[in-house]
């Protein structure tokens, strides 16, 4: 099947239906774990595990890292790690079934592939730093925070979207 026929046949989910399912998932997560969704904790678990593999002594002496490796407790034995692995496996299965897996870089004709990848990397690094400073990513701080009517959750969501609109305006020449 060529790509032009595929694009005509493929229909994405309604975003409102996806949002409804996400809301159900957040409720289920609160019910099962007592806390909401979040993914930035997985990065923290990964970093602590790597530091522990390089120097266990440093990890034990470090006030921050030592909280995650006390006793026989492994930072990778965390439900967030399994959540993220499930998301990655699910995305791979979904992409495979839809025939959308491939190595390509989508970009505007106005920028090069290299520039697009640099912007993506910088955006990811800035988002990761922001998630660490804010003590949570969009899932944990915004969605789960709003689910429990936290003022901070609403402020976080407004800040995320406000900043996104600002940056989209400033960088729009790269796309249109």
Higher pLDDT, 141 or 9: 141
Answer yes or no: is pLDDT of 176 > 70. no
Burial per residue of 33-49, b for 16 or more beta-carbon CB atoms within 10 angstroms, e otherwise: eeebbbbbbbebbeebb
Dist CA 25 CA 19 (whole Å): 10
pTM of the model: 0.61
Q: Where are the beta strands (DSSP E) in the chain?
A: none
- pLDDT score, position 1: 47
- Which one-letter DSSP state was computed for residue 122? H
- Which one-letter DSSP state was computed for residue 154? H
Q: What is the mean pLDDT of residues 36-65?
A: 84
pLDDT digits (tens, 9 = 90+) for 64-108: 888 888 777 777 777 778 888 888 898 899 888 877 788 888 777
- pLDDT score, position 27: 87
* Percent helix, strand and coil across the chain, each to the nearest 5: 70, 0, 30
Q: Where are the alpha helices (DSSP H) in the chain?
A: 3-9, 15-33, 40-54, 56-61, 79-98, 113-134, 144-147, 151-170
Q: What is the mean pLDDT of residues 143-161?
A: 86
Q: What is the mean pLDDT of residues 16-42?
A: 83
| Cβ atoms of residues 49 and 141 within 8 Å | no
User: Under the phi-then-psi rule, with left for phi > 0, alpha for psi from -120 to 50, and beta for the rest, what region is 71?
Assistant: left
Token pair, residue 140, equals: 């944990």
40-54 and 79-98 helices cross at what angle (nearest 10)? Answer: 110
Q: What is the mean pLDDT of residues 38-67?
A: 84
Least confident span in 18-22, 64-68, 165-169: 64-68
**Cα angle, residue 139 at apex, residues 137 and 144 outer, rounded to 5°:** 120
Q: What is the mean pLDDT of the chain?
A: 81
- pLDDT score, position 121: 93
Least confident span in 1-10, 71-80, 162-171: 1-10
Domain layout of the chain by residue ranges = 1-102, 106-176
Close Cβ partners of 40 (under 8 Å, ≥ 6 residues apart) = 128, 131, 132, 136, 137, 139, 140
Dist CA 34 CA 50 (whole Å): 28
């Amino acid at each position: 099947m060529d790509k032009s026929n595929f694009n005509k046949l493929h229909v994405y989910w309604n975003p409102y239906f996806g949002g409804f399912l996400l809301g159900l998932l957040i409720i289920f997560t609160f019910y099962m774990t007592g806390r909401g969704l979040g993914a930035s904790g997985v990065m923290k678990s990964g970093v602590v595990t790597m530091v522990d593999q390089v120097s266990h002594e440093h990890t034990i002496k470090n006030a921050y890292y030592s909280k995650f490796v006390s006793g026989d407790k492994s930072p990778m034995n965390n439900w967030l790690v399994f959540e993220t692995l499930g998301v990655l496996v699910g995305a791979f299965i979904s992409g495979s079934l839809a025939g959308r897996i491939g190595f390509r870089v989508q970009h505007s004709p106005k920028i090069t592939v290299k520039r697009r990848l640099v912007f993506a990397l910088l955006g990811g690094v800035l988002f990761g730093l922001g998630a660490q400073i804010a003590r949570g990513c969009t899932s944990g701080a915004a969605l789960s925070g709003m689910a429990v009517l936290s003022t901070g959750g609403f402020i976080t969501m407004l800040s995320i979207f406000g900043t996104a609109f600002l940056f989209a305006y400033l960088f729009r020449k790269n796309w249109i």
